[in-house]
Amino acid sequence: MKFYLGYAALAGMGAVLGQDSAGPSPANERPNIIYIMSDDHAYQAISAYESILKDYAPTPNIDRIARDGMRFDRCLVTNSLSGPCRAVILTGKYSHVNGFITNDDQKPFDGSQQTFPKLLQKAGYNTAMIGKWHLESEPTGFDHWEILPGQGVYYNPDFITREGRHTEKGYVTDLITEKCLNWLDNAKNSGKPFMLMMHHKAPHREWQPGPDELSLYKDVIFPEPETLFDDYAGRGTAEKTQDMTISKTMRIEEDLKMYKDRSKMRRTGLDRMDSLQMAEWNKVYDPIISRFYESDLSGNDLVRFKYQRYLQDYLACIAAVDKSVGEILNYLEKNGLDKNTVVIYASDQGFYLGEHGWFDKRFMFEESYRTPLVIRWPGVIRPGSVNNDMVSNIDLPETFLEMAGLDVPSDMQGRSMVPVLKGKTPSDWRKEHYYHYYELPGPHSVKRHYGISTDRYKLIHYYYDIDEWELYDRKADPLEMKNVYNDPKYAKIRKDLHKRLTSLMKKFGDSDELARSFLPN
């Protein structure tokens, strides 16, 4: 109680009790909203979450949001791909409804449709989108936007505005942060509440650390996940035919930067560095490259090397993102905006950090299906709260609208989390969650699938390419290593899950036939 009483003395007892009061802010003042999203940031790589990496690569600023707000331990995505997740967050609708189902070979996101930024803008909010957009269309519903083209690059990136495309010198995480701080400086004086979507490129593949983090983890040895050498026994065709393993898929040169052929730097944007940036880069990487080729590794030793290099670079990218989060939080406090600004940190979806021998995402297994989510809302969320309810990225736009005091459109398919944030989860909150992944052919060759997850079980159907079902008992098998679909002991559970899956598909207007209509001939 001492911690809560201390906080109450500073912020008002309403904050402790989860009441609607916002401390010194007027009770009727609509909160500002800052939504910070990174790309491919695994929850395992946030030290506020329990994982084997917690003590090796801390994220103190993201942890500040969790400490002062709520950490969600069961936030699930509807389609584990970057573009589709972004479309879901804008619209509050599943991929088959908003029309953006894959990253590759499709039409741009339809910006004419209803989105939560448009609704906030119409209600008087000053809105902005800065950073990675990845929807192949111009943003709509924003008073200001400045986005990376496509995936963007880490060093000296291009940005697109209404005026056109230009190049800026610097590291992409730092540049996005600077742009957001400049926009906030103007927005705070506008007389309007504001909503900022701050989207980082990092830590997306090929995981290129910034100049301040180049050597941060180069000598750190990270613990290996239990399933790094998974052989996929006990599972089906989809797991055995994917192309996303550290052992075979991860590239020595482009992904791990062990360049023998420097011309390959063009493929990842590293050739955009100027001479000073390249000199600092080479100072760190040249000795690592020399040692690697002298060692002539193979087999499991090579996999272990690749895993370590992957994490050293990936986590260094995250360190820059965490620093960026700290700059935003410090700015809010310095300018007296912290008490009436909701800050959300999330990733577009989860990511594999060697679990099952993989990197990337796509599968309905926990590491890619579950995404990190922490939210700070002073005066509403009890500090240090941890939530285990089944929430989803499809709930975010409804939540933002209710925070702003707006009605949630009836055609949105998620549900506002505001009662959950207040510690009053409704008794009829979801007990199951629906997922649907479409991208094949495509990178990593993951079979198309849909499924249902409950607090314990997960039923998955791989359709169209193959017709295979999988069932996992997460309590008995938390690492999801054994498909028990054909186990007689699970016959009753299987029947119930099939029934519930059919009901969810009907509820959301999805079906096998509709799924097939989206697929290439």
Q: Count Cβ atoms within 10 A of the Cβ of residue 295 and give its class: 0-12 exposed, 13-18 middle, 19 or more buried.
A: exposed
Topology given in CATH for the domain delimited by 447-517: Arylsulfatase, C-terminal domain (3.30.1120)
Average pLDDT over every residue of 311-339: 98
Residues in CB range of 90: below 8 A, 6 or more apart: 98, 109, 115, 116, 117, 397
Work out the percent of the chain whose per-residue pLDDT is above 90: 89
| Mean pLDDT rounded to a whole number for the chain | 93
> Residue 27: pLDDT band by 50, 70, 90 thresholds?
very low
Q: Angle at the Cα of 387 (from 383 to 392), degrees rounded to 5?
A: 120
* Residue in this structure with the two tokens 């590239």, named with its chain if needed: 251
> Where does CATH 3.40.720.10 sit in the chain?
2-15+34-208+316-354+370-422
Q: What are 298's two structure tokens?
A: 């193979």
238-258 confidence digits (pLDDT tens): 999 999 999 999 999 999 999
Q: Is the pLDDT of residue 518 over 90?
A: no
Return the number of other C-beta atoms located less than 10 Å from residue 127's C-beta.
25
Average pLDDT over every residue of 109-120: 97
Q: What are 23's two structure tokens?
A: 């401390």
> Residue 321: pLDDT band by 50, 70, 90 thresholds?
very high
Q: Is the pLDDT of residue 10 over 70?
A: no
- Which residue has better confidence, 53 or 464? 53
Residue 514 has what pLDDT? Answer: 87
- Determine the Cα–Cα distance for residues 476 and 481; give it in Å rounded to an integer: 10
Return the number of other C-beta atoms located less than 10 Å from residue 393's C-beta.
26
Residue 319 has what pLDDT? Answer: 98
Q: Is the pLDDT of residue 166 over 80?
A: yes
> Residue 520: pLDDT band by 50, 70, 90 thresholds?
low
Average pLDDT over every residue of 341-368: 98
> Where does CATH 3.30.1120.10 sit in the chain?
447-517
Quote the DSSP letter at residue 108. Answer: P
Under a CB-based contact definition with an 8 Å cutoff, are residues 326 and 291 in contact?
A: no
Q: Is the pLDDT of residue 113 over 80?
A: yes
For the four alpha carbons of 319, 323, 329 and 330, in that order, the dihedral sign comes to positive
For the domain bounded by 2-15+34-208+316-354+370-422, which CATH number is listed? 3.40.720.10
- Crossing angle of helices 396-403 and 82-91, in 10° steps, is 30
- Determine the Cα–Cα distance for residues 199 and 379; give it in Å rounded to an integer: 26
Q: Is the pLDDT of residue 282 over 70?
A: yes
- Determine the Cα–Cα distance for residues 206 and 241; give it in Å rounded to an integer: 23
Sheet with 158-161, edge to edge strand ranges: 164-167, 158-161, 144-148, 126-132, 194-199, 32-38, 341-347, 373-376, 70-72, 385-387
Q: What are 65's two structure tokens?
A: 């949001």
Lowest mean pLDDT among 158-167, 180-189, 512-521: 512-521
Residue 279 has what pLDDT? Answer: 97
217-227 confidence digits (pLDDT tens): 999 999 999 99
> Residue 325: pLDDT band by 50, 70, 90 thresholds?
very high
